[in-house]
Amino acid sequence: MQVSVLTGPQEIRLDERPVPSPAPDEVLVRVSAVGVCGSDTHYYREGRIGGHVVTGPLVLGHEAAGVIVAVGSAVADTRVGHRVSIEPQRPDPTSAQSRAGRYNLCPSMEFFATPPIDGALAEYVLIQSTFAHAVPDSVSDEAAALFEPLSVGIASAQKAGIGAGSSVLIAGAGPVGLLTAQVARAFGATQVIVSDIDEARRLNASTFGATRVVDPTEENVRALEVDAFVDASGAPSAVVDGIHAVRPAGTVVLVGMGAADYALPISLIQNRELVLTGVFRYANTWPIARELVTAGLVDLDSMVTSRFGLDGVEDALNADRTPGSIKAVVIPGLSKENEK
């Protein structure tokens, strides 16, 4: 099979590898679509994300969907032929966090495209059967792949306590910000305010869930009054301004990857009794993602702005620098002349 491999900073090579065989609890998936995430571009350009460092050849890609073509001995043969969205993680089921239902926090987690675990930019991948979630025919391959970033938006909205009549401020109108805005609306929020310094991104937010957009360089974000704030930007100034916008007893959720440390308004957090928390991936979100998409409450297909084959992965990783880009998708088997 063909596999796209990161061999060094900004070095991608198309290799040939044997098709893997599934362990008893695994399924073999023929990959149909892989979304490109900001973490993929970080590994490609910088070779690291925080403490996760690329030290050898690595297959990127963790937003994936495909079709089950073979199963392990402990998996029912009836699963062959199922279209699935891949939840790209393998926790230790015996860890304390897994047993508490927080398997995303398992210290022994093996996660696609996090060194040294290979990801999904290949023609075939293995995943445990329970993490290969069936999707209906009404959901496209590309949308099924984007259940993964949608799950980040779901986890963020859950942590923020968003429900009927809620108001929320979201900083950052990249893919995760746009997905969080759509989820917030689906969860019943009546005010979904999205801030971003980029005009084109603000326009995207108006299309994908926002009831109002804000340019933080022109408007006083701190003067807003919301029940919850979700940071999807990673910008320290956006985080501090967002915290100031939250009403007493509200919630602050940090999602964006930015600076490792920065000053926070501790007195304000104490005096308003704000709850401040983070989001690290997700747990038990795929069934919710499937229901939101099939009900038409979240639009994933319209967020795909470019498509590439396995021989165009380098272009896909740089697609975020193209004006108007929201989400690039890699489709194994797509020929170079059909990329768009």
Contact 157, 282 (CB under 8 A): no
270 and 320 fall within a common domain? no
Quick check: is 292 in a domain?
A: no
Note the pLDDT of residue 259.
Answer: 81
Closest CA to 293 of 183, 219, 165: 183
Closest CA to 304 of 208, 233, 213, 221: 208
Express each pLDDT in 258-312 by its tens digit: 888 899 999 999 999 999 999 999 999 999 999 999 999 999 999 999 999 999 9
Q: What is the CATH number of the domain that holds 66?
A: 3.90.180.10
- Number of structural domains found in the chain: 2
174 and 272 fall within a common domain? yes
Going through 185-282 in order, the beta strands assigned E by DSSP cover 191-195, 212-214, 226-231, 246-254, 275-278
105 and 39 fall within a common domain? yes
221 and 94 fall within a common domain? no
48 and 85 fall within a common domain? yes
CA distance 139 to 299: 10
215 and 323 fall within a common domain? no
174 and 259 fall within a common domain? yes
Closest CA to 326 of 143, 150, 200: 200
222 and 305 fall within a common domain? no
Q: Is 254 helix (H, G, I), strand (E, B) or coil?
A: strand
222 and 307 fall within a common domain? no
117 and 174 fall within a common domain? no
104 and 156 fall within a common domain? no
Burial zone of 220 (CB within 10 Å; 0-12 exposed, 13-18 middle, 19+ buried) = exposed
Contact 303, 147 (CB under 8 A): no
Quick check: is 287 in a domain?
A: no
Q: What is the CATH number of the domain that holds 264?
A: 3.40.50.720
DSSP 90-129: E--TTSHHHHTT-GGG-TT-EETTSTTS--S-BSEEEEEG
Quick check: is 294 in a domain?
A: no
233 and 108 fall within a common domain? no
Closest CA to 276 of 286, 265, 290: 265
- pTM comes to 0.96
Quick check: is 288 in a domain?
A: no
Quick check: is 232 in a domain?
A: yes
Cα 78 to Cα 34, 129, 330: the distances in Å are 25, 12, 28
CB atoms within 10 A of CB 197: 17
Sequential pLDDT tens for the chain (340 residues): 999 999 999 999 999 999 999 999 999 999 999 999 999 999 999 999 888 899 999 999 999 999 999 999 999 999 999 999 999 999 999 999 999 999 999 999 999 999 999 999 999 999 999 999 999 999 999 999 999 999 999 999 999 999 999 999 999 999 999 999 999 999 999 999 999 999 999 999 999 999 999 999 999 999 999 999 999 999 999 999 999 999 999 999 999 988 888 999 999 999 999 999 999 999 999 999 999 999 999 999 999 999 999 999 999 999 999 999 999 999 998 866 666 6
What is the domain extent for residue 100?
A: 2-146+300-338
